[in-house]
Every structure is written in C-alpha cells, then in structure tokens.
Amino acid sequence: MNRRDIFKLALTAQAAAEQPHSPQTPPAAVQRGDRGRMPNVLWVCTDQQRFDTIEGLNNPHVRTPYLKSFMGQAVTFTNAYVQSPVCSPSRACFLTGRYPRTTGLRANGQRIRPTERLVPRILADFGYECGLVGKLHLSPCANGRVEDRIDDGYKNNFWWSHDLSDGWAGRNMWLEWLKGQGLRWPADHTGPAWGVPIDARYSQSAWCANTAIRFMRQQRTYGPWLMSVNMFQPHHPFSPVREYFDRYDPTAMPDPAYREGELESKPVYQRVDHRGAYGGSGLSFVKTDPAMRRKITAAYYAMIEHADFEFGRMLKALEDSGQAENTVVVFSADHGEMLGDHGIYLKGPYFYDCAIRVPLIIRWPRGYKADLKVDALVELADLAPTLLEAAGIPPAPGMQGRSLGPLLRGERTTHRNSIYCEFFDANFQYDPTPMAMCVRTRTHKLNYYQGLDIGELYDLEKDPGEFHNLWSDPGARAAKEAMLVEMAARAIDTVDPLPERHAPW
C-alpha cells in the first residue's frame, strides 16, 4: 500500500468518525419485522415556484386542476417558508432539517459537508430504497462541473438532470434520453421562450414523472421506498412547451405588484436587481415593457400547469399500483420567484413573501387529515423530522426542524412564533456583500442587512404587499425593537447543536 492509499484510508476513517449521527434505535415496525407499516414517500419538489400559483389558493389566472384536487385529500400549509431564497442552501436545509448556517451550505456553488446526513440517507439505514430524479444541487454544478455527491442514500437510483442545458456532456440524463429518441431540446437556455416547439412528452418534467413512475412500479419484496422528484420547471429562463404556453393569453395576465419609487427606501440590492438580476446580469424589469412582463407571467404559469399535469400522472400511477393508502406524498418547492413584483425578477438578497413563501401540501391517507388548510407558520426545515416521525424514527441528533405531525393529524393549529430565513453571501456580486437575516411573525417582517444603514420592517396587517418600509419610521419604533429581539432569539435558536454534549464538563 502506497502513501496515497494510506492517506485516502485515513481520510475515510476520519470522515466516518466525524459523522454527526450515531446509529439510532430501529423503529418499532422494523423491530417487529413489519416494514410494510412504514410509509412510502413520494416527494415532488418544483424549482422556483411561489406560494400563490395554485388554482385552489385564490389564483384565477393559473390552472392546476390536479393540485386543486390533491388539496381536497391532503393538508395544505398556507404559510410555509423556505430558509433561503436560493436553491442550494434551501435544499440542503429541508433535506437535513438543519438551517443553512449550520449545514455550512449558504450559497449556490458551495459543497455540502460530507458529515451532513440527508433524510434519504437516514431512511436508507432503516430499510428504505431511495431514489432521485432531476435536480439535487448540493454541490457546485457550473462551467461543466458535474455535481459531486456525498453519501446521500440514493445509491444507484439516481437520475441526474440539473437543468435544461447541456453544460455536462453526456451527464444530463434527460438530454441523453432525448438524444436516444432522435430529438434535441429546441430552445435557448439563456432567455424566455414563448412556446418551445417540442411535444410535452419529451420535456424534462415528463421525463422526471416517467422515471418516478417506473421506480414506484418496481416489484419489491423488502422495505418501503422514497422517491424524490425534482422537476426544473418553473425555474427561469421561462421555457414552457408550446402546448402549454398556447393555453395562456398574455394580455389577460396581471401586471406585477410594483409601485413606482417604492425601492428608494429599501436596501440597495433591490435597486441593483431592478436594473438587472444578479448584479445586473439577468432579467431586468426596467428593460421590459408591460406587454413583455405579462408574457413572462403567462410563460411562468404555463410551466406550472405542465408540472401540475405531471404531478397528476404520478398520483394516478401511485393509485393504480395500490400503494397510495400508505404513501406520504409531499408537494413543495425550493423557493419562490419575484415575477416582477417590487420591480424585480428571479431571486436575490431579499425576503418578500413571493421569494420565500412556497406551496406545501402533504397527504397520507393512513395517518393525516384530509381537506385541511393550516395557516400556522411553518418552515421547510420541518419536513425532515416530519418524514422521520411518519416512519417511526426519532429526529436525528442535530436536526433543528420541528415535526409537522401534530398539525397534519389535526391535533394542533399553532407551530412557531416566527419563521427564519437568511442570505449570507449567496451569489450576488455587489459591495458590500449581502449578509442578511429575515424574521417574520404573523403581524410583522423584519430584514436586517449587515453593513447597510437601512433594513426593512413591514406591518403585514396594514401592508401585506410589503410596499411601505417602516425601518426609519419613528412611529414603528416599538414594533422594530420587538422584531429585533425576535431576530436575536432566532439567531440563537439556529446555532448548530452539534457536536452532541456527552458530559457536563
């Protein structure tokens, strides 16, 4: 054995020793040999879908018949918030039940620590067969770099397709499948497309659904399963297939919720993005006219309707396979989309509800209520312990989320006093670098930006649209002080609880 091999072995042993979770006691169903009682999990996560894009939640402009029907069978959370407004930190958070600042993955382009334990890894330890199709995004995947994986629990059931581009020759499995059909994706990946001329059956969303359906239909003699479905839609560059875009009349779409001059009293980052997203290199509100903005909205809604259809196909396959009764189905998103509201597109260092509030709908016929809407404040960090609880597994050490089980069973109507969100140097080129925290209660939202003279304070009862910044308003001093105290409490609350304490000294 040479020095290099010895060094690799040493690193492997060190990584194993640093694992934050020691083996847990198997759930009662495992001890009894009754793994069939442990529920399957179908977890569908769209990319960049804001909370107000579901037909059953008072949006008359978008059609989502399958999600609307699903809500009648499930628990719908109307105040669900992510813990980062960008992809990687948010995904790492809800996959581990740990906040971005504790996972260490605070920005796109960073790599999650190999010591972090994902829900599929924990479930796999207890007999689950876990799979993923579509996006994962827990490590860098740009400039031709294929995403590195930690021990994530998906094993060989891993069908990776980060987005719609071909930046990884031979590695985007959807595009490779498409080439096998003798086809190519006929759209530019850098800007909106007003109807991609290809049959919807060949889209990435349809491919994700097909792959998930095959996985769910597999004959298994051992253990339950988890399938994570991560469609790229409705993420920009707003590229719906023509079949769905043609269903929407851009002239009938609403204008973005923006008031001229509202950004003058808000942090500078928003004015930068107003001119062009991500430090001036993206979709610019000021360079679009009203007709173009409504066209973008139509494209966004068309992609959501398409994702809804594919979700419906997966639900039907689950039902046809006879597994629906004991399968937890989760529909969620990794973060929202500004969609021109407040004069901004895409995402960045701001915490408007349209950027951090997302759909969250959960169904489990055997264990949860049906046709229930819950307005409690919940975080997507709460999903990991929720799924473990459903499987009879206690929260893993280091998990910071709180199980939604009592809300899902109708035992409680309250959950948290506030939600927490952060943006710590997460992909925005500007000086000073955005380092910001957000706390939202039922009545107020406060956003603090390190290094700036201005923050944000909104009275959500009087100003639910978050147009009027009260940060410098003397009349809002008491509310501001109370929210700063709440922010300090959440800053303490989100400190990493690991390593575990095993003795008083």
Task: Provide the pLDDT for residue 361.
Answer: 98
Average pLDDT over residues 433-462: 97
Q: What percent of the chain has pLDDT over 70?
A: 92
* pLDDT bracket for residue 452 (50, 70, 90): very high
Which residues, other chains included, contact 211 with Cβ-Cβ below 8 Å and sequence gap of 6+?
Answer: 133, 159
- What is the per-residue pLDDT across 136-191, written as a single tens digit (0 to 9) for each? 999 998 778 889 999 999 999 999 999 998 888 889 999 999 999 999 999 887 78
Residue type (1 letter), 449: Y
Specify whether the CB–CB gap between 175 and 161 falls below 8 A.
yes
> Could you tell me the residue ranges of all domains in the chain?
36-417
- What is the per-residue pLDDT across 247-306, written as a single tens digit (0 to 9) for each? 999 999 999 999 999 999 999 999 999 987 554 447 899 999 999 999 999 999 999 999
Average pLDDT over residues 492-501: 93
Taking the CA atoms of 15, 388, 109 and 270 in sequence, report the sign of the dihedral they define: negative
Instruction: Measure Cα distances from 73 to 295, 309, 328, 353, 366 in Å.
Output: 33, 17, 12, 26, 12
- What is the per-residue pLDDT across 313-360, written as a single tens digit (0 to 9) for each? 999 999 999 999 999 999 999 999 999 999 999 999 999 999 999 999
Task: Provide the pLDDT for residue 204.
Answer: 97
Average pLDDT over residues 36-43: 90
Average pLDDT over residues 109-116: 94
Query: Which CATH number is 36-417's, of 3.40.50.720, 1.10.1370.30, 3.40.720.10, 1.10.3720.10?
Result: 3.40.720.10
19 pLDDT higher than 50: no
229 pLDDT higher than 80: yes
CA distance 265 to 271: 10
425 pLDDT higher than 70: yes
- Average pLDDT across the chain, whole number: 91
Overall residue count recorded for the chain in this entry: 505
Average pLDDT over residues 398-410: 98
